[in-house]
Amino acid sequence: MKKRTLVVGDIHGAYKALRQVLDRAGLRTDDTLVFLGDYVDGWSESREVITYLLELAEKQPCIFIRGNHDTWCENWLTTGELSDTWLLHGGALTVQGYVAVSPEEKEKHLAFFSRMQHYHIDAQNRLFIHAGFSSMHGPAHEVYTSNYSWDRTLWETALATDKQLNRDSPLYPRRLKHFAEIYIGHTPTTNYGTELPMNGMNVWDLDTGAAFTGKLSVLDIDSKEFWQSDTVQSLYPGERGRN
């Protein structure tokens, strides 16, 4: 049976959805999992998500990309300082979830956050990044590393580009030429009226609105088959997520 590379969209504290969608994907220990970031903030089980991912990484190959929410959470776990912006964007339930954390568990989680990558490029020249990059010369030349987890212009460019445009045309976006495929999260596809993964040019968006009214998605990057959890809000009755 062929080994798979499965890419996982933004989780946002939805531990139940994560377990459910990996079960529906028929997760095998020879699968390589690439997580696109934003593991925390939104639903009430951010701490459980991180603990589970640590356990999962001991069983099989896992690549963890850093999201903007992960940076907020790491800063708080490190300094104890709370950002009002973070609290307004889902951080409040994350803080509540860590109330009873032991010093040992906290250190393990901080080590996990510190090991996250800004981006990953595989042997087939496929890029995995939370949000995007703005440099015309590629992510390695990015001036502001915050763009890796915040940029939306790469995705907007992919959506706005005429699909009939020849790759050799001087009008073809240079940023899209660097990689065979690009996989991102960060921008919910529910913003565009769908809870399915979206494709624009060679860019795939796997954030299918799990933090809001959508689902958590996993995509096989070779076959493009994908699996989804139930609507996350149905798994957390009584909670609002980031709605």
Quick: pLDDT tens for 170-179: 999 999 999 9
Residue type, 72: W
Choose among 110, 76, 105: nearest CA to 90: 76
Question: What is the pLDDT averaged over residues 159-177?
Answer: 95
User: Cα–Cα distance between 44 and 149 in angstroms, integer?
Assistant: 22
Question: What is the pLDDT averaged over residues 51-60?
Answer: 98
| pLDDT (0 to 100) of residue 213 | 97
State whether the Cα torsion 178-144-114-19 is positive or negative.
Answer: negative
Question: Cβ(63)–Cβ(121) under 8 Å?
Answer: no
User: Cα–Cα distance between 158 and 155 in angstroms, integer?
Assistant: 5
Question: What pTM does this model have?
Answer: 0.97
Question: What is the pLDDT averaged over residues 117-146?
Answer: 98
- Say which residue the tokens 């999201």 belong to: 67
Question: What is the pLDDT averaged over residues 211-231?
Answer: 98
| pLDDT (0 to 100) of residue 1 | 80
List the CATH code of the domain at 5-235. 3.60.21.10
| pLDDT (0 to 100) of residue 98 | 97
Q: What is the mean pLDDT of the chain?
A: 97
